Each structure stands twice: as structure tokens, then as C-alpha cells.
Chains A and B, each alone.
Chain A
Amino acid sequence: MGFEEVFSWKLNMSNSSRALRQVVSLDGWIAAFDTEDTATVHADVVFREGRFGAEDDDKVRFRLSLRRAEIVLIAPEAEPLRVIRASVERSPAREGQTRQVTHQMSAEAHGKANLSLSKALTPGAELSMGAEAHRSLTTRQELTETVAGHVEQHFTTLEGHPAWEVRAIGCERLDGSPWDAANKPRLRVKRLSERNADGDKPTMRFEMRCRREDIEITELELKDPEKQGWFNKRLNRDVNLAAAEQVIKEELLSAGFLQVADLSEKHANLVIADVIVSEDW
């Protein structure tokens, strides 16, 4: 797989989703307007892990994922749509879902088996194993554990657009859908007119943004086993690994992201995918 493919833009005029195909999928729609000319707006977001390095001529392989992302809904001023502010999905940030887990374990030990023998065969830790010990044990534990998932938090961007931040909890990277796209619309809009100035149905745009620090590169290695072996043996290799990851990030950013105001700006928000949504019927 080429770099372009991991990081390719899906150009489609009717639904111009531009996605980092492997890492994120972004889609959306506006439901049918009701008699009061209002409708719900839906965003379908799926995070995955991208992999690079399958092609024969690739020299490195790595995995790519996101730690955090923002989904912003932009209603262009020219469009005859107005966001009903009270309808914006703004559930408080979840601190992580929990679940009750019960572990029950039974074990029976037969001391006869598999005695590993150190050179000094003397009394010590292995003594009890030497005898024919038969022991059984049953334990039951109940504990509450945090389930890996997402934290979703509404906010409004500096430009005044409604937005939702999604962060991974219980794991290092985002994976799966942060919400139910069909049953959890992001907000409702009021239609001011059936057609915009161009005579088309009114549209809005979802953008997915992240920062450079949100991009996670893992398991980076050289495909040439000899070179990788050499790398594994070197001291302080984490510095060189960090440098290699920085090269990949720079390449990702300069090669394809849609809208980067200034790559050298430390906190620049990068648009990694967007989709134009309109009434879906």
C-alpha cells in the first residue's frame, strides 16, 4: 500500500468526504424537514487503525491512529439554515463507562509436574514443588472496571460553530464510533428557504480536525530485518525513533491534509476529513 493510499483523498462532488481512509471515516446527513421546517443533522464517525508497509517497495512499516479529534459542524452564512441552539447535543462529558465484572477462578495444582532445576539443587523455593502437592483454590472477585471507549464533549469553536471533541479513554487510541449516528443527531436546524442562492438544497459541512500531537504512530520498524536488528541493538534508539516518527508526521501533514493554516504553528488545527451534508431524500 502506498503512502497516498493511507492518506488519500476521496473526491466526490456530491459528497466530498475527504478522509484519511484507513484512520477515520466521516459521513453525515440532514434528515427530512418537518412541517415546521426543522430537521435533525447527523454525523457518522468511525475511527480505525491504519497500517502502512504492506507494499513490496515500502521500506518501513508502522501503524497510525488518532488519540483525539474534533468534529465541527459549519453552517455557511450564505446557506438558508439556522442552528437551533437549544437542540445541540451537549451531554456532559462521560468519565468513562464502567461495568461490573465477576472473576471466578478455580485452580488445582499438582506439584509433581515440571520441576525446573537450577544448578544448585538445594532447599528453597522449589521444596514444596518437590513433594506431591495437591491443592485446589477457588477465588471469586467482583470489581468495577472502566470500559475502553470515548469521551465526547461539546464545545463551540472560536468562529462560533458547534463542535464535539472526542477522546479515547481506557486505551491509547480512538477506535469505533463515538456515538450512534442515527439515534443521536448532533442538533436541529431551521430551514429559512427551500433553496439557496445557487438554487440547490441548503448544505452544511462537517469537518474533522486534530492537532499534530493527536496523531499516534506505533510499531514503526524497518522492513529490512538486518537493518532492524542493527537498530534494535543500538543504545538510546528512542531518540532516533522519535526523529523517524517526526519525519512521518511532517510528511502526513504536508502531503495531504486539507487545510493547514501554518504547519509551523505549534497548535495548528489540521483538518483531516470533511463532508458536505444536505437533506437526505
Chain B
Amino acid sequence: MPNWQDKVVMVMLAETSDLRELARMVGHDPAIFWRDANFRQADLSDQDLNGLDISAATLLSVPTLADTTSDIEHDDDPLAQAQSYLSRGKEAMNRAVGDWARAGMKLDFAVEVLTAAVEAFEAVQDIAGEAHVRRMLADALVLRHHAPPETQEEDLDAAASQLRAARMLFERLDDHEAVASCLDAHGMLQRFRSQMREDDTAIEALDDAVGLFNAAAKFRQSALTKVRLLGASREQMMLSGPHEKETISLLRDHILQLERIWSQVTGPVPADIAAAAKIENCMCRLGLAQITRRTLGTKAREEMRDLLATAMRASAENGHYIDWVNGQLCLAALDALHREADVAPAQDDTSEALDVAEAEALTRAQVWLADGDATLRTLISATDPDFAHIDHALDCYAEAEDLFGLLEDVGPVEDEPGQFYAVMRRGIAHLLWAADESSTGEKKAEAITNGRFALDLAAANLGGRSDVPFAAAEALDAQAFGLRLEAHFSTKEFAVQALAEAAALHRRASRVEGLPRAVSYRYRTHFFGAERELEERQAADPSKLRACRVRAHKALLSSESRKSDRTSSAEQASHMAVLSEYAMSVTAELKVTAPRDVKEKREQSRSETDQCIDAAIELATTLLMPLDWMLLCRTRAQLQRLDLQ
């Protein structure tokens, strides 16, 4: 007989978890071996505990066979009996999602007792109870359909019929919220069904789902339905095939919308919505990875797992088992994506191959960045700019961000662009879109928020770095422009605060150590611009605005006198800033002049100001400075409006 340590090793490594077998293996009587044992979270639901001396207190804390038999105590009160079935069913469902690998038996039990509960509520003619249980039974059937090891499509049919019955009952009760919930659940069920089918029938199921979600929206305007619709449209796009670009664009848009939904959610009930949005968001990100034939980095994978775990827990706690199933499907998709990816490098597992892959990814990131820049350049060079192109630029920058992110290339090294540089460019593109006259209302606000967020993020990561002074200063400067733009569309109080902050950021940018004089000078000119805008919003004192114009004029004269020095792009950019500031300060002064004097003064300065604007726009286009370009276009428009007065 082995000594006691061998026995310990033997039972720990035993292939079995059968209580009797384990006791016999170490030479003990199974009947008394398990006394006072600490089973912790063990699952004893598939074990026969008859004849084993295990205390009731011990068994209270673990799932046991009792959970999986229909041996329920009978109550003389039929309603109490029905409630008892219901609570046992719900408990079994909770246990099933808590131990998904072995959920089958528990879900069989749940379906069994919930079916009994339906009959019991029917018998006492409790319509509300019956409707509620039918709804829950549908969830149990959907769970069982997805539970390992095999799926049964008939469960989906049964679930659909329970949902229809529940919906009819809720309609009789005029419970619109519950009717919408049934329609939502039915729509999700159709989405699940589409995953089991191919081609046309899958698309039909999705169309059906969209119809059901739209019907739900008629009863209840809920963000939850919106999340489900986004999911259905994602699945439609993914099924429809080769329109990769459109799909990528749609997925990015979905990701944004979903993040916004969950960030706006507060309180316990909308926690369901937040959970569904998080799961759908992960689905979108996985969809993106699949389309672009990429895998996620370890960190991104872990982040996604955490997000899914939180969301699935919230869904289960709130009884939204269908969302929980959706989360489970997402986890499976994540695993599948990386199983393939993990296998691939194993076939060619050399560091050289990885280096090549990294180099390729880096090149691709830089190409995306250049593509984004080229798009913006085309836009600002056009006589009649088409702002729709900004969408493409946003996609390009986002793609570059992703690739740099995968390479963990977070910031510029020796001024080579990296992830946050791409973020900054994306922020600029958002702001450009926001500044367009055709963007209005919610979309404009959204673009400003997105732009500000990206620029804040870039500045937070680059702004404090002394090793990359160019990028650090540029990020701060762009951040300030974001504030100036937002100030333009805000209340006076906010605008004053934002402009003061913007002025401080421009000043900080101008003082970053290691910058060439011309670059620093450009940021200082921007600082004067922010100060002037602050004065315009605060008091619009004509004498102060005149002083601003005079200062800008002096700067212009000084810059003109150094024409021979303007060989580098930094010098040219600096000159452009001065030209731009002069034109803007003239406009600001004209705006506070009495209308009858405007025309006269405008004519006096027309030629000079227009020349300044033309020259500055040309430089901004050449040097690809979209924010400066945008300000100049606005100034020109303002001057034209003043002309008309």
C-alpha cells in the first residue's frame, strides 16, 4: 500500500471525480470517508450521494443531484406549487450559466420544471404568472440549444413558440414593456438561427430579426433594441460578402455608437443595456479582426475577455440569459480566431518570420497613415471640397492606430509616427468634419466630441514627452485647436473657459524645449489668436481688437521681411500662421465696427486681407495643415458675410 503522500498525489491526479471510486482508491470506506469534507465549489450534480455520510450543511453550498431531479416537494396550494417550480427553474438556469461546461443536465431540469410551472400557472388561471414563466422557459430553451456538447434546433422552435404565447398573454395584460421584451428575444433567437444556416436562409432569418426588433421599437423606445438592431445589421453586412470597406466603416461606426450607449447608461436596470452593448461591441471588434484577417494582441484579447466577463455577469444577474448566450458566442468566436492564429505561427515558428510580419505591419500602418493624409490633402486642395471624403480618412487613421497598437508602437520615436500620432490625425479629421457648414446638430456635436477626445488622448500621451518635442508640441497645439472649435459652438461661459485653456495650451506648445525657433513662433502666433478669440467672446472691446490687429500686422511685416529665410517647411508654416492671424484679426475688428463703416473699411483692406488669406490657404494646403486651412476658410466666409451687410 502506498504511503499517505502517495495517496494524496493519487487522488489529486485521479482521472475520476466519483466520490465512491476516490474513497476506495485510497482504501477507505466511501460511506464515512467524506465526513466533514470541504467541497468548496465542487459540482456534485452528477453524483449519487445515497449512503454517503455528507452533512446537509456541506451540500447546501454545492450543486448536487437534487438540482437535477424533478423530486420537488409538493405543496397543497397550487399557486405556491407553481412558484416553487418557477424558482427551482430559475435557480437551475443560474447554475447552468455558472458552470457552462456541464450545463446540459441542469438545463434539462430547468426546462422540465418551468414546463411544469407553465401548467401550474395555467391551472390556476394566473395569466401574468404564465406569461412570465413562458418567457423564462424560452430563455431556458435558448440556453439549452447552445449548451455543450451539441445543439438542438428544435429547442429554438420550442422557444419561439413559447415567446409567441408569452407575447399574446402580455398583450392581453396591456404590458407593452413585456411585449417588446418578447419581440426582442424572438429577434435574437432569429439571429441565433441565422448562424446555423447558410446563404439565403440565414439572410432571411436576419431580415426576420430586424422586423421583430422594429416591431419591438413600436412598443418601447429602448437602447436595448437599438443594440440588437446594430447586431443584426452587422451580421447582415458580414454575410453579404465582399464589401469590405463598407463593412469596416460600418463596424467602426457601430463600435462608436455602442460605446456611447454604455457610457451613457446609469442605474441598475439600464445595466442590462450596457451589458448587451458591451457584448455587441466585442462582436464588432472581432468582426473587424476577421475582415482584416488580423488577430488581436494579448492585451487586447485580455481586455475583451474582461469586458465580456463583466457584461455576461450583469446579463445573468438581471435574468437576460439571451444576452449571456450572445456573450458566450462571442467568447467562442474569440477563441476560434486565436486558435487558428496560434496554430499558424507554430508552422513557421521562427523569430525571423515574426520580424518580417512586424515589419510588414509597420509598413501597412504607415501606408494607412499616408492614405489618410492624402485624402485630407485632396479635400483641402479642392475648389469645392467634398467633406464626405473625411470618412475615408477617419478609417485610414483608425486602421493605422490599430496596427500601431498591435505593434505596441505607442508614440513617435525620433519623430517617426506611432499610434498616438495616428490618433492625433484622426482627431484633426473629426474636427475638420465638425467645422464643415453642412454638418449640423447632433452629428456636429458628435464629431467635436470625437475630435476632442482623440486630441486629448494624443496630447495626454505625447504632450509630456521631451524626447519627441515636435510631436509633443503639435499634440498640445492641436488640442488647443479642438477647444477653440468647441468654444465656437458653445455658450459664452464655456467658450471663455475653453479659450483661456486653449491659449494656455498654445503657449505651452510654444515653450516645449528643443523646438526650432520658427516652430515655436508659429505656436506663439496661435496663442495670440486664442487670446484674440477670448477677447471677442468676453468683451469685444474695439480698442483691444485693434491692438490685436496692430500686433498681427507688425508680426506680418516682420515675417515678410524675412522672406529669404523661408526655405524650410517650418519657416513656411510660421509665415502661414502670421498671415492667417492677421486676416483673422482684421475680420474680428471689422465685426465690431458699425455696419455702415464696414464696407468702407473692408474695401480699404480688401486687397491686402484677401491676399493674406489666399497665400495662407495655399501654404496650409501644401504643408497639409487642415486646422489652419479650416480657420482660414471660416475667416473668408465671415468677410463675405460682412460684405453683404
Give Cα A119 to B299, complex, Å.
10
Contact B42 A239 (CB under 8 A): yes
A236-B42, A238-B39, A250-B28 known; A117 and B11 CB under 8 Å?
Answer: no
Q: B53 interface residue, CB < 8 Å from A?
A: yes
Q: Residue of B at shortest CB range from A251? A: B4
A112-B464, A119-B300 known; A242 and B8 CB under 8 Å?
Answer: no
Pick from A132, A211, A248: contact of B4, CB below 8 A.
A248
Pick from A112, A121, A239: contact of B423, CB below 8 A.
A121
Pick from B32, B44, B453, B459: contact of A123, CB below 8 A.
B453
Among B8, B9, B11, B454, find the residue whose CB has the most chain A CB atoms closer than 10 A: B8
Among A3, A119, A130, find the residue whose CB has the most chain B CB atoms closer than 10 A: A119
Pick from A123, A239, A266: contact of B260, CB below 8 A.
A123
Q: Residue of A at shortest CB range from B406? A: A119
Q: Residue of A at shortest CB range from B11? A: A243
Stretch touching chain A among B15-23, B154-162, B310-318, B636-644: B15-23
Give Cα A117 to B13, complex, Å.
42
User: In chain B, residues 93-118, which have Cβ atoms closer than 8 Å to a Cβ of chain A?
Assistant: 101-102
Contact A127 B456 (CB under 8 A): yes
Give Cα A222 to B34, complex, Å.
21
Q: A245 interface residue, CB < 8 Å from B?
A: yes
When each residue 237-265 of chain A gets 1 if its CB lies under 8 Å from chain B and 0 otherwise, what string results?
11111111111111100000000000010
Pick from B6, B405, B460: contact of A111, CB below 8 A.
B460
Which residues of the partner chain A approach B38 to less than 8 Å between Cβ atoms? 242, 245
Q: B36 interface residue, CB < 8 Å from A?
A: yes
Q: A115 interface residue, CB < 8 Å from B?
A: yes
Give Cα A97 to B264, complex, Å.
45
Q: A58 interface residue, CB < 8 Å from B?
A: yes
Give 12 pairs: A residue, B residue, CB < 8 Å, sorted on A: A58-B5, A119-B300, A119-B401, A121-B454, A127-B456, A130-B456, A231-B12, A236-B43, A239-B39, A243-B12, A243-B23, A243-B37
Q: B285 interface residue, CB < 8 Å from A?
A: yes
What number of A-B contacts does a CB cutoff of 8 Å give? 155
Give Cα A248 to B26, complex, Å.
11
Contact B8 A266 (CB under 8 A): no
A238–chain B nearest beta-carbon distance, Å: 4
B330–chain A nearest beta-carbon distance, Å: 15
Which residues of the partner chain A approach B303 to less than 8 Å between Cβ atoms? 118
Contact B423 A124 (CB under 8 A): no
When each residue 33-77 of chain B gets 1 if its CB lies under 8 Å from chain A and 0 otherwise, what string results?
111111111111000000001000000000000000000000000
Contact B450 A122 (CB under 8 A): yes
A112-B460, A130-B460 known; A123 and B9 CB under 8 Å?
Answer: no
Give Cα A114 to B576, complex, Å.
35
Which residues of the partner chain A approach B53 to less than 8 Å between Cβ atoms? 266
Contact B8 A120 (CB under 8 A): no
* A-B interface, 8 closest residue pairs, ranked by CB to CB distance from nearest: A130-B456, A238-B42, A213-B36, A251-B4, A243-B11, A239-B17, A130-B457, A243-B22
When each residue 85-128 of chain A gets 1 if its CB lies under 8 Å from chain B and 0 otherwise, what string results?
00000000000000000000000000110010111111111110
Contact B35 A266 (CB under 8 A): yes
Q: Residue of A at shortest CB range from B6? A: A59
A231-B12, A236-B42, A240-B12 known; A123 and B463 CB under 8 Å?
Answer: no
Q: A281 interface residue, CB < 8 Å from B?
A: no
Q: B351 interface residue, CB < 8 Å from A?
A: no
Q: A235 interface residue, CB < 8 Å from B?
A: yes
When each residue 262-306 of chain B gets 1 if its CB lies under 8 Å from chain A and 0 otherwise, what string results?
110000000000000000010001000000000010001001000
Contact A120 B101 (CB under 8 A): no
Q: B14 interface residue, CB < 8 Å from A?
A: yes
Contact A242 B259 (CB under 8 A): no
Give Cα A64 to B8, complex, Å.
15
Q: A129 interface residue, CB < 8 Å from B?
A: yes
Q: A54 interface residue, CB < 8 Å from B?
A: no
Contact B37 A246 (CB under 8 A): yes
A33–chain B nearest beta-carbon distance, Å: 43
Q: A137 interface residue, CB < 8 Å from B?
A: no
Residues of A whose CB lies within 8 Å of any CB of B are: 3, 58-60, 111-112, 115, 117-127, 129-132, 211-213, 220, 222, 227, 230-231, 235-251, 264, 266
B130–chain A nearest beta-carbon distance, Å: 37
A115-B457, A242-B40 known; A121 and B8 CB under 8 Å?
Answer: no
A115–chain B nearest beta-carbon distance, Å: 6
Contact A247 B4 (CB under 8 A): yes
Give Cα A124 to B285, complex, Å.
16
Pick from A60, A212, A240: contact of B36, CB below 8 A.
A212
Give Cα A275 to B14, complex, Å.
42
Among A118, A120, A238, find the residue whose CB has the most chain B CB atoms closer than 10 A: A120
A112-B460, A227-B13, A240-B11 known; A245 and B42 CB under 8 Å?
Answer: no
Contact B460 A131 (CB under 8 A): yes
Which residues of the partner chain A approach B29 to less than 8 Å between Cβ atoms? 264
A164–chain B nearest beta-carbon distance, Å: 23
Contact B5 A60 (CB under 8 A): yes
Contact B12 A222 (CB under 8 A): yes
Give Cα A89 to B298, complex, Å.
63
Q: B7 interface residue, CB < 8 Å from A?
A: yes
Given A121-B426, A248-B4, A266-B32, 10 further pairs, Cβ under 8 A? A111-B460, A118-B303, A119-B405, A120-B259, A121-B401, A121-B457, A123-B453, A239-B19, A244-B12, A247-B4
Give Cα A223 to B423, complex, Å.
49
Q: B84 interface residue, CB < 8 Å from A?
A: no
Contact A240 B260 (CB under 8 A): no
Contact B41 A238 (CB under 8 A): yes
When each residue 431-460 of chain B gets 1 if its CB lies under 8 Å from chain A and 0 otherwise, what string results?
000000000000000000110011011011
A219–chain B nearest beta-carbon distance, Å: 13
Which residues of the partner chain B approach A236 to less than 8 Å between Cβ atoms? 17, 42-43
B592–chain A nearest beta-carbon distance, Å: 32
Contact B285 A112 (CB under 8 A): no
Give Cα A119 to B251, complex, Å.
13
Q: Residue of A at shortest CB range from B289? A: A119
Q: Residue of A at shortest CB range from B101? A: A235
Which residues of the partner chain A approach B405 to less than 8 Å between Cβ atoms? 117, 119
Give Cα A131 to B460, complex, Å.
7
Which residues of the partner chain B approach A117 to less than 8 Å between Cβ atoms? 405, 410, 419, 457, 461
Which residues of the partner chain A approach B168 to less than 8 Å between Cβ atoms? none
A123-B260, A131-B460, A246-B37 known; A264 and B4 CB under 8 Å?
Answer: no
Contact B281 A242 (CB under 8 A): no
Contact A123 B259 (CB under 8 A): yes
B12–chain A nearest beta-carbon distance, Å: 5
Among A58, A122, A125, find the residue whose CB has the most chain B CB atoms closer than 10 A: A122
Q: B359 interface residue, CB < 8 Å from A?
A: no
Give Cα A30 to B6, complex, Å.
45
Among B9, B23, B101, find the residue whose CB has the most chain A CB atoms closer than 10 A: B9
A226–chain B nearest beta-carbon distance, Å: 11
Give Cα A60 to B12, complex, Å.
10
Give Cα A247 to B14, complex, Å.
14
Q: B547 interface residue, CB < 8 Å from A?
A: no
B532–chain A nearest beta-carbon distance, Å: 24
